[in-house]
């Protein structure tokens, strides 16, 4: 696993400047609405879009470069992201600038091993990779240092923001899916059925663990009923069996919380070889029963032993399951996002009588709306 050691961000949305923010195996962001939690998580999706050659699509969806840059291009001439990885002291830096057409282009990209920066001069700051003449950036490969590319670029390609909020009748998790759509678990769970079918056929131990975990949260659940459709063997739909009956039910018969938990369990219990190096989650507790939230916390901790976790939450109950060192508090000060990591020594006296969630609700650790925000 390529573990992120720290991140620096300059000029991304509400983030004016964050310098060398340490990242641990699990990072839980708390803060009021509008504090910038989602923007911090969005940095990782932004980097993934760049390395997947979808930069301009990202910018268009965001509403243009002015919406991506902190207070627009007039205020922020350059967007910079720096990453450091624990393995072999790898470092990564990317710089982007706005075009007159309200797009972004990569002005400079640098990937290096500590002490070997001069060996790759065409990746130094100042070397331009201009994307203004095409729809997307095609970032250069590193033929001189393939290990750098494997250890830095490949993990970036795998970063995805997962959210399983949509459990409406039109949810992609409830629809028929392509049987072979199973190379990775999609961020919205659209290939939940084919991915579970793949695990059942090729990774039985992971599949069984997912099944048993779902049973703990939904005792009525017996097993998934996964098979290609009889009239179209290239398609599959999520079906399941209720304990004590031979009848089959589809995903529409599951509660919203049960369906979301199935997706979360699939994400966090899939084989390590299939997981992204960083899992990003925005309010994964949405719609879950308190016991399911307790199980979710356990799954997150378990997954964090092999995969770095970054998640934002609004749930004091979920927060109660983590240590202060796991928590990043987001506050918006003078229109800028500030992130502060908690530490146990400073909270030791408080924690004798209160949980972390209670301290958050009492506004003893920050991350609550300021009085002026409450009106």
The C-alpha angle 355, 360, 364, rounded to 5 degrees, equals: 100
Looking at 135-203, list the stretches that DSSP marks H as alpha helix, in order from N- to C-terminal side: 146-148, 154-158, 192-202
Classified as helix, coil or strand, 314 is coil
Please report, for residues 33, 126, 143, 152, the alpha-carbon distance to residue 118 in angstroms, rounded to integers and kept in the order given: 44, 13, 15, 18
- Please count the other Cβ atoms lying within 10 Å of the Cβ belonging to residue 118: 8
Which of 250, 289, 281 minimizes the C-alpha distance to 264?
A: 281
Classified as helix, coil or strand, 311 is strand
Q: pTM for the whole thing?
A: 0.89
Local confidence pLDDT in tens for the 375 residues of the chain: 578 999 999 999 999 999 999 999 999 999 999 999 999 999 999 999 998 889 999 999 999 999 999 999 999 999 999 999 886 678 899 999 999 999 999 999 888 876 555 333 334 433 334 444 344 555 555 555 556 666 677 778 888 899 999 999 999 999 999 999 999 999 999 999 999 999 999 999 999 999 999 999 999 999 999 999 999 999 999 999 999 998 889 999 999 999 999 999 999 999 999 999 899 999 999 999 999 999 999 999 999 999 999 999 999 999 999 999 999 999 999 999 999 999 889 899 999 999 999 999 998 898 777 654 544
CB proximity list for 160: less than 8 A, separation 6 or greater: 45, 48, 187, 276, 279, 280
Which domains does the chain carry?
4-159+277-361 (3.40.50.300), 172-257 (no CATH)
- Sign of the CA dihedral 64, 65, 66, 70? positive
């Amino acid at each position: 696993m390529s573990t992120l050691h720290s991140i620096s961000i300059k000029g991304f949305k509400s983030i004016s400047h964050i310098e060398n923010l340490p990242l641990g195996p699990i990072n839980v962001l708390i803060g009021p609405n509008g504090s910038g939690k989602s923007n911090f998580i969005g940095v990782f999706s932004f980097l993934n879009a760049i390395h997947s050659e979808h930069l301009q699509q990202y910018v268009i969806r965001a509403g243009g470069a002015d919406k991506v840059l902190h207070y627009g291009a007039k205020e922020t001439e350059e967007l910079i992201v720096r990453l450091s990885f624990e393995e072999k002291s790898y470092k990564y830096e990317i710089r982007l600038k706005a075009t007159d057409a309200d797009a972004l282009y990569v002005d400079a990209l640098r990937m290096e091993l500590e002490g070997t920066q001069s060996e790759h001069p065409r990746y130094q700051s100042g070397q331009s990779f201009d994307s203004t003449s095409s729809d997307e950036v095609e970032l250069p490969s590193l033929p001189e240092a393939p290990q750098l590319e494997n250890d830095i670029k490949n993990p970036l390609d795998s970063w995805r923001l997962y959210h399983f909020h949509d459990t409406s009748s039109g949810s992609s998790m409830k629809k028929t899916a392509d049987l072979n759509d199973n190379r990775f678990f999609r961020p919205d769970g659209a290939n939940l059925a084919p991915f579970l079918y793949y695990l059942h056929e090729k990774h039985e131990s992971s599949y069984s663990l997912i099944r048993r975990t779902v049973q703990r949260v939904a005792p009525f659940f017996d097993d998934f009923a996964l098979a290609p459709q009889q009239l179209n063997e290239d398609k599959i739909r999520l079906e399941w069996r209720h304990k004590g009956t031979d009848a089959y039910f589809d995903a529409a018969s599951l509660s919203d919380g049960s369906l979301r938990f199935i997706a979360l369990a699939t994400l966090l219990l899939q084989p390590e070889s299939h997981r992204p190096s960083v899992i990003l989650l925005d309010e994964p507790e949405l719609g879950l029963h308190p016991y399911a939230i307790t199980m979710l916390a356990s799954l997150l901790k378990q997954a964090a032993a092999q995969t770095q976790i970054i998640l934002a939450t609004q749930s004091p109950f979920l927060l109660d399951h983590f240590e202060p060192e796991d928590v990043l508090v987001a506050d918006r000060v003078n229109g800028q996002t500030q992130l502060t990591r908690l530490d146990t020594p400073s909270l030791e006296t408080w924690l004798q009588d209160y949980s972390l969630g209670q301290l958050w609700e009492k506004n003893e650790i920050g991350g609550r709306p300021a009085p002026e925000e409450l009106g």
